[in-house]
Amino acid sequence: MLILGIETSCDETSSALIEGTSKGPKIISNIVFSQEKIHSKYFGVVPEFASRAHLEKINWVIEKALNGKKLNQIDAVAVTVGPGLTGSLLVGKTVAQTIGYTLNKALIPVNHIEGHIFSIFLENPEIRPPFLALVVSGGHTELVIVENFGKYKLIGKTRDDAAGEAFDKVAKLLKLKYPGGPEIEKLSKIKNRYLINFPRPYMPQTFDFSFSGLKTAVVYYVRDNFSDKKMKPVDIRSICYSFQKAVVDTLVWKTITAAKKFNLKKIVVCGGVAANMSLREEFLQAGKKEKLDIYFPSKKLCTDNAGMIACAGYYKIKNSKLKIKSLEVKVDPNLKLTNWL
Ligand code: KG4
Ligand code: ZN
């Protein structure tokens, strides 16, 4: 079975080809055109520019993803239908629907969050639910119990800024490049720095997250210490390191606490922020201590890509009791994670 994936929910235009094999899904291609250069001067994604860039690049990424194969050789098209930016989602959906109509191919609508969770199966098809997934990206910070393929229980989400969004906003404050996560990580690695005691928003009464208070603490720290003097590179590095540590401590503590409470032995950490080495190291250490297995997709599969969407589509076709033969899909910018099993 050959599945073409299409992902255009935010600022990556991506298409991928996945083959279903007896051992699980196999990536044939996973092409990502990043719009980073277009949005970097605005320190964030400009929705109108994002949809225009998707329109310009979508045929190119699909052509490359097909890798010499013809469109009529594929069995189905899996496309992200939300959550995300409406104009951006519509580009992917329209292209997927056109392929569906003209070549009579099944369309598989995929939730972007579900795509991030399923990214783990591209390299670790042996992992079986139940497990706890932390989806931590620019738009989301969610704790989901994956009871089975297509059966989810959301136990916590962000009440304000997503973790990646907080990275991007702090980077903007420090006049670093967009996206902020990789920049903050790079500067945090330079050993010559000091530790600032930023608050950890643990909120032990809930599994929800809130990073806007931490972001504000960084804003106040900069205002109180640098309104009358220039920040030196060591100050910038120290703020990056201390902020990153506060985010990592919070994500790890809450996720491990949830896994223990719900008696789940496996944790999957995915989404753009999961590319952060400090987060990965701290999770592995905590997992060892608590005897929990921690899994991450490789770094290139953490950030947005169509491979994860095609992978979710593959499991949806394989495991769903419903026969997917629809030629109509709808986008929803606020799409919730729903069960299909
Ligand atoms: O999953 P993703 O590509 O897009 C969304 O679904 O939002 O995640 C992008 C987010 C950005 O906020 C970016 O700053 C963050 O992931 N990110 C990182 C790192 N790489 C990307 N955050 C921390 N450390 C990183 N190495
Ligand atoms: Zn994403």
Residue 273 Cβ contacting ligand 1 at under 6 Å: yes
As a 3-state breakdown, the chain gives helix, strand, coil percent values, each rounded to 5, of 45, 20, 35
Write the secondary structure of 9-31 as one string of H (helix), E (strand) and C (coil).
CCCEEEEEEEEEECCEEEEEEEE
Spacing, Cα 40 to ligand 2 middle (Å): 17
Quick check: 202 pLDDT over 90?
yes
Ligand nearest to the CA of 300: 1
**Mean pLDDT calculated for residue range 241-245:** 98
pLDDT band at 329 (very low <50, low <70, confident <90, very high): confident
- Tell me what pLDDT residue 150 has: 93
Quick check: 231 pLDDT over 80?
yes
Quote the pTM value. Answer: 0.95
What's the pLDDT tens digit per position in 141-171?
Answer: 999 999 999 999 999 999 999 999 999 999 9
Q: Which atom of ligand 1 is nearest to the CA of 84?
A: 6
pLDDT band at 42 (very low <50, low <70, confident <90, very high): confident
- Tell me what pLDDT residue 319 has: 81
Residue 303 Cβ contacting ligand 1 at under 6 Å: yes
Question: What one-character DSSP code corresponds to residue 334?
Answer: T
Question: What one-character DSSP code corresponds to residue 72?
Answer: G
Residue 83 Cβ contacting ligand 1 at under 6 Å: no
Residue 139 Cβ contacting ligand 1 at under 6 Å: yes
**Exposed e or buried b for every residue in 69-82, given b needs 16+ CB within 10 A?**
eeeeebebbbbbbb
- Tell me what pLDDT residue 278 has: 98
Alpha carbon 150 to its chain's center: 18
Mean of per-residue pLDDT scores for the chain: 95
- Tell me what pLDDT residue 322 has: 54
Kindly give, in sequence order, each residue whose CB lies less than 8 Å from that of residue 133, ignoring residues fewer than 6 positions away.
117, 142, 143, 144, 145, 146, 267, 268, 269, 270
**Mean pLDDT calculated for residue range 31-46:** 91
- Tell me what pLDDT residue 62 has: 98
Q: Which atom of ligand 1 is nearest to the CA of 275?
A: 26
Encoded tokens for 162:
């997503």
Q: How far is CA 250 from CA 11, 134, 143, 244, in A?
A: 27, 12, 13, 10
Kindly give, in sequence order, each residue whose CB lies less than 8 Å from that of residue 38, ignoring residues fewer than 6 positions away.
11, 46, 49, 50, 53
- Tell me what pLDDT residue 137 has: 96
d(CA 47, CA 49): 6
Residue 167 Cβ contacting ligand 1 at under 6 Å: yes
- Tell me what pLDDT residue 92 has: 98
- Tell me what pLDDT residue 46 has: 94
Ligand nearest to the CA of 183: 1
- Tell me what pLDDT residue 22 has: 84
Pocket test for ligand 1, best of 33, 110, 137, 184 (most atoms within 8 A of CB): 137
Spacing, Cα 74 to ligand 1 middle (Å): 31
Residue 306 Cβ contacting ligand 1 at under 6 Å: no
pLDDT band at 181 (very low <50, low <70, confident <90, very high): very high
Q: Which atom of ligand 1 is nearest to the CA of 178?
A: 14
